């Protein structure tokens, strides 16, 4: 009997020790989160609630989101990197190829909570590597004192621009000599950059920048230049500055630009409105490239399950709404698009609607070989130095050569 009591006491002591050990382990749990510069206040409340609910300490460090992957390459293997970080979707492909990120396991309902383009931006070969945080894309910005309301079609802007030139002003201005700005028309007319490979990924050697739709799109855009509706000064690298100047000087009624231009235009005293991009003659809404910031999990995270739990937790609708109120970054959460706070904000609503129509910028490493040749071909086309078909054919040849060289160097 005495022996049984001693044994029972030992078991109780062991159980108590184990429980206190688990509690200590839980209380010692920590996550390191790298957030974007001046954005951590947006998740402050969510972090506090997460720490209380899961008995976890979350350490937050701010740094520019576009630089986080580069820092992870050094800090991850050294054991001083983050568990969770924020990256732009165009860095995803290289990061996955280099083994820097851990895939996430999201339930269908979690995936469906976000707009399809934003989720696709963080999906490679059917594997999801991140949860979208914020989106940005091109929109139509117009001076309300020069144009009472946005026009419906791009052709309408062409006609409007002709009238404005008679007054020595400009109707619509855009950097159509660069692929980032002309992509919306190319994509909506059947052009493409990389074809789908049938496995949920992209085929980097099937390039459609010289497809019939692409050639027709570039030919149509060329009319703005050929008919004198765009000033010569907006061609080339300094073109965007020229467009901004003409708009803020009230010499241009409308421009195609991004949310980054909102504050400078407001500071210049322009009474401007914002709308989704106009439709094309074929009735299709103009596409655009979608830039997405997303939360991802580092390969070197010591607790990947807890890291994912943290990302899921802070992206609950109430916390997303709070984040939007603080940071003004547009969330790609479906429930937020029709939320009064965004729907009743003309600028935010325009970005949210256009983002739902946009195409995620290809995240594979080969995309880096596209920009130079594509922009060169567009500049040659718009200035009339080369026919669109010839310029685009040459660009595709150049891109393929550069991609093949890149792939060979990586073998």
**In this predicted structure, what is the pLDDT of residue 28?**
65
Backbone angles phi and psi of 127, in degrees to 5: -105, 135
Continuous H helices in 196-343: 212-226, 239-248, 262-267, 304-314, 317-327, 334-337, 340-343
Continuous H helices in 330-411: 334-337, 340-343, 346-357, 371-382, 388-410
Handedness of CA 365, 367, 373, 375 (dihedral sign): negative
The set of residues, in sequence order, having a beta carbon less than 8 Å from that of 38 and lying 6+ positions away, is 62
Please write down the HEC assignment for all residues of 29-67. Answer: CEEEEEECCCCHHHHHHHHHHHHHHHCCEEEEEECCHHH
Contact yes or no for 69/95 (Cβ under 8 A): yes
- The tokens for 68 are 């986080």
Question: Which CATH number is 30-136+291-360's, of 3.60.15.10, 3.40.190.10, 3.30.465.10, 2.60.34.10?
Answer: 3.40.190.10
**In this predicted structure, what is the pLDDT of residue 397?**
97
36 CB burial (10 A radius; 0-12, 13-18, 19+): buried
CA distance 150 to 147: 7
Question: Which CATH number is 137-289+363-410's, of 3.40.190.10, 3.40.50.880, 3.20.20.140, 3.50.50.60?
Answer: 3.40.190.10
The answer to whether the 30-136+291-360 and 137-289+363-410 domains have the same CATH topology is yes
**In this predicted structure, what is the pLDDT of residue 62?**
97
Residue extents of the structural domains in the chain: 30-136+291-360, 137-289+363-410
CA distance 276 to 353: 7
Backbone angles phi and psi of 97, in degrees to 5: -60, -35
pLDDT tens across the length of the chain (411 residues):
434 443 343 333 333 343 334 333 444 699 999 999 999 999 999 999 999 999 999 999 999 999 999 999 999 999 999 999 999 998 998 899 899 999 999 999 999 999 999 999 999 888 999 999 999 999 999 999 999 999 999 999 999 999 999 999 999 999 999 999 999 999 999 999 999 888 778 899 899 999 999 999 999 999 999 999 999 889 988 899 999 999 999 999 999 999 999 999 999 999 999 999 999 999 999 999 999 999 999 999 999 999 999 999 999 999 999 999 999 999 999 988 888 989 899 999 999 999 989 998 888 889 989 999 999 999 999 999 999 999 999 999 999 999 999 888 877
Spell out the long-range contacts of 219-224 with Cβ–Cβ below 8 A and sequence spacing 24 or more: 219/381, 219/388, 220/185, 220/189, 220/281, 221/176, 221/182, 221/185, 221/382, 222/381, 222/382, 222/384, 222/388, 223/158, 224/158, 224/161, 224/172, 224/174, 224/176
- The whole model's pTM is what? 0.83
Cα 153 → chain centroid: 25
Contact yes or no for 325/311 (Cβ under 8 A): no
Query: Residue 236 region, left (φ>0) first, then alpha (ψ -120 to 50), else beta?
Result: left
Spatial CA neighbour of 163 closest among 227, 219, 222, 218? 227
């Amino acid at each position: 009997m005495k022996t049984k009591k001693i044994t029972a006491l030992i078991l109780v002591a062991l159980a108590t020790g184990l429980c206190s050990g688990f509690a200590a382990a839980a209380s010692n749990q920590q996550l390191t989160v790298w957030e974007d510069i001046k954005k951590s206040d947006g998740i402050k409340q969510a972090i506090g609630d997460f720490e209380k609910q899961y008995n976890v300490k979350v350490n937050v460090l701010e740094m520019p989101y576009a630089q986080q992957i580069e820092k992870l390459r050094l800090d991850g293997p050294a054991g001083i990197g983050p568990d969770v970080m924020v990256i732009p979707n165009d860095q995803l492909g290289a990061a996955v190829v280099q083994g820097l990120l851990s895939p996430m396991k999201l339930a269908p309902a979690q995936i469906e909570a976000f707009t399809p383009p934003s989720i696709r931006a963080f999906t490679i070969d059917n594997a999801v590597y991140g949860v979208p945080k914020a989106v940005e894309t091109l929109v139509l910005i117009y001076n309300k004192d020069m144009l009472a309301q946005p026009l419906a079609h791009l052709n309408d802007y062409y006609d409007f621009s002709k009238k404005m030139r008679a007054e020595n002003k400009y109707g619509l201005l855009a950097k159509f000599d660069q692929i980032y700005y002309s992509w919306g028309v190319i994509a909506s007319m059947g052009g493409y950059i990389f074809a789908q490979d049938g496995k949920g990924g992209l085929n980097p050697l099937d390039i459609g920048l010289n497809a019939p739709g692409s050639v027709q799109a570039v030919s149509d855009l060329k009319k703005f230049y050929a008919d004198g509706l765009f000033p010569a000064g907006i061609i080339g690298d300094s073109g965007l500055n020229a467009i901004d100047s003409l708009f803020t000087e009230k010499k241009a009624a409308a421009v195609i630009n991004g949310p980054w231009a909102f504050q400078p235009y407001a500071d210049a005293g322009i009474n401007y409105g914002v709308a989704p991009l106009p439709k094309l003659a074929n009735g299709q809404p103009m596409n655009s490239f979608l830039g997405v910031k997303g939360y991802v999990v580092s390969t070197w995270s010591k607790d990947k399950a807890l890291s994912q739990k943290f990302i899921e937790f802070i992206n609950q609708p109430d916390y997303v709404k709070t984040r939007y109120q603080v940071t003004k970054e547009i969330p790609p959460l479906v429930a937020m698009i029709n939320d009064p706070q965004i729907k009743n904000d003309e600028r935010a609503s325009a970005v949210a609607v256009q983002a739902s129509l946009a195409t995620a910028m290809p995240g594979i490493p080969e995309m880096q070989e596209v920009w130079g040749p594509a922009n060169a071909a567009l500049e040659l086309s718009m200035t009339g130095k080369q026919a669109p078909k010839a310029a685009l054919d040459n660009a595709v040849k150049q891109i393929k050569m550069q991609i093949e060289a890149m792939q060979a160097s990586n073998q």
